[in-house]
Amino acid sequence: MDYFFELFFSGLSKGSIYALIALGYTMVYGIIELINFAHGEIYMIGAFTALIISGILTILGFNKISILILATIGAVIYSSAYGFTVEKIAYKPLRGSSRLSPLISAIGMSIFLQNYVLLAQTPNFVSFPELIPEIKWLEPYSSFLGSTDFVIIVTTAIVLVLLTILIKFTKIGKAMRATAQNQVMAALVGVNVDKIISVTFIIGSGLAAIGGVLIGSHVGQINFYIGFIAGIKAFTAAVLGGIGSIPGAVLGGLVLGWTESFGTGYISSDYEDVFAFCLLVLILIFRPAGILGESTQQKV
């Protein structure tokens, strides 16, 4: 039974990370119908930035909690900045062109960013400092629920609540929902579409950065390539839940996390990545709208 709970919580924590990254995909797709291939790299850059900042602060002798907070803030700021910049360079000039061009541009950006970090930092795995402190009162449950798992789950939950408040109750959230529904109309009623698109990218990137910090602390090492695999999986999660739907992204992330966890736990650990891809293919073939999505009829 212990084993089951272990798999449950590790699936939950993995799923939370996927959810954080998936939110970025789903929000961007919802607003400009683009698969932001480079989003995984934004996550990776968040992790690296956190690594660099925490490295400096560790050497300077800061304490663990402040390092964690400062590194996370730094990662969020930088990932958001990168997301913002990527949109301005690779996607904005292509608004209105065929579906193929932005996709190729996104792939190119993804490859560029991967190699940018590879060259500027290192191609090797780098160890990520343990930023998340041991939580004392979790001790009795440590056989199936570790401290990092716990922090990941709680952080994600808090972030989701904040995001929901933003989307549902603020003016900017309203503008984002309007732009996602109908860009032209939103512009006509006075929404600054460019700004809203940038905001979407910024928020999505920030969430991915948090995921990057958490995963770095959890796994203990990162390299320039983690964005690719995490990106595909998170995209799977977004599609699974219903692309464009924020609760969908979360649901999708959790389903994927548990599938991988229980799959590797009970079936086979060699094919871990295959689970995600198979899920993706099956969902797109049988229910492209996803669990929570609505199927849209094409207007003829």
Choose the binding region for other proteins from 131-139, 185-193, 195-203, 233-241 (rule: CB under 8 A): 233-241
CA 142 to each of CA 148, 188, 210, 214, 258: distance values in angstroms, whole numbers, following the listed order: 10, 55, 23, 18, 19
User: Is 51 among the residues that bind other proteins (CB under 8 A)?
Assistant: yes
Between residues 180 and 191, which has the closer beta carbon with respect to other proteins? 180
Asked whether position 184 contacts other proteins by CB under 8 A, the answer is: no
Indicate which single residue of 8, 62, 112, 125 sits in contact with other proteins (rule: CB under 8 A).
112
Of these, 232, 265, 287, 291, which contacts other proteins (CB under 8 A)?
232
Q: Does the protein bind other proteins through residue 70 (CB under 8 A)?
A: no
User: Residue type for 46, please?
Assistant: G
By CB under 8 A, is residue 56 in contact with other proteins?
yes
Which residue number, 110 or 179, has a Cβ lying nearer to other proteins? 110
Contact call for residue 297 and other proteins (CB under 8 A): yes
Q: Which CB sits closer to other proteins, 23 or 240?
A: 240
Residue 271 interacts with other proteins (CB under 8 A): yes or no: yes
Cα 70 to chain centroid distance, Å, stands at 20
Report the nearest approach of other proteins to the CB of residue 112 (Å): 3
Distance from first CA to last CA of the chain, Å, rounded? 55
Q: Which of 63, 97, 143, 182 binds other proteins (CB under 8 A)?
A: 97
Q: Which stretch binds other proteins (CB under 8 A): 12-20, 136-144, 245-253, 279-287?
A: 279-287
Shortest Å, Cβ 71 to other proteins: 11
Beta carbons within 8 Å of 192's beta carbon, 6+ residues apart: 175
Q: List the one residue from 136, 139, 188, 298 that touches other proteins (CB under 8 A).
A: 298
CA dihedral sign of residues 261, 266, 271, 276:
negative
Nearest distance, CB of residue 52 and other proteins, angstroms: 5
Which residues sit at the interface with other proteins, rule CB under 8 A? Answer: 33-35, 45, 48-49, 51-53, 55-56, 58-59, 74, 78, 81-82, 85, 89-90, 93-94, 97-105, 107-121, 127, 129, 228, 232, 235-236, 239, 270-271, 273-274, 277-278, 280-281, 284-285, 288, 297-298, 300
